[in-house]
Amino acid sequence: MKPLREAPFGFRVAITLFVLVLSGGFLASFGHMHKHHQNRDGQEGLSYDDIQGVYTGVRSVAPLKRALDAGHPSEIEGATALPEAKRKALLDWLAIEAESKRSSKFDDFDLGENAPAEILSANCVQCHSRSSNNPAAGKRPLEYYDEVAKLSISRDIAPMDQAILLATTHTHAIALGTTSLVLVLLLLLTRWGALAGTIAALSSLGLTADLAGWWLARDSAAFIPIILGGGGLFGLMTALLLVLIVLDLWLPSQGNK
């Protein structure tokens, strides 16, 4: 069969545009995943917990509650333990589900010294401030409500509904499998055709691991790394296919060297 580089100019332009469209589609897919799945754990950005929440589900305990449950700061040598009444007042405040109500109670005048703002100011801000001499504590300042709010959110993240996962698997398996096959066949017509077998095997391995991991992770979060690894491998091989095809289309023909 005729090498891809020797195809008519118009055909090479068409294939190049096809590759560019696919590249844009993959980038849009990554952007959608980031926007759609991020912040499930209450933190900005796409995190490991966000991915686990999609496929397995995860209970995200507020960092402030986790610290109080652990008895912080009593575990620190020389530190004074938070009085039990103050600790209970903070835990009761953290148990308020509605963020608007939790916000209004933060510095509620009627609560007096038991208002969360007063408790934190008197017992925590000395270490948990941006100007703290303790680098670890300084990374979690508690001076203002916006700072405290980020550490006060507990969430029960439910995994993706099985019917939605089934539809997603159906769509991705057919679309990505077919796209990969087309790209591998195009690569066979390039000067790098000898690499097609290796790239195809790695790409298929990555896609299979990714899709299988979606279902396996419903029963155990131990399979989340398989999703990340498989998806990463498939993405890398796909990017390599796209780059090699475009390069072959426009680099000088090997016969002209």
Distant-in-sequence, close-in-space partners of 134: CB < 8 Å, separation ≥ 6: 127
Q: pLDDT band for position 79 (50/70/90)?
A: confident
For 184-218, how does the pLDDT look when each residue is reduced to its tens digit (9 = 90+)?
999 999 999 999 999 999 999 999 999 999 999 99
Answer yes or no: are the C-beta atoms of 195 and 217 closer than 8 Å: no
pLDDT (tens digit per residue) in 220-250:
999 999 999 999 999 999 999 999 999 999 9
Task: Please name the amino acid found at residue 85.
Answer: A
Closest-CA residue to 149 (of 184, 180, 105, 185): 105
Q: Is residue 34 pLDDT above 80, yes or no?
A: yes
186: alpha, beta or left, given left = phi > 0 and alpha = psi -120 to 50?
Answer: alpha
Is the pLDDT at 42 greater than 70, yes or no?
no
* Mean pLDDT taken over the chain: 91
Binned at pLDDT 50, 70 and 90, residue 159 comes out as: very high
Which range has highest mean pLDDT (3-7, 145-149, 237-241)? 237-241
C-alpha span between 176 and 134 (Å, rounded): 49
> So what's the pLDDT on residue 62?
87
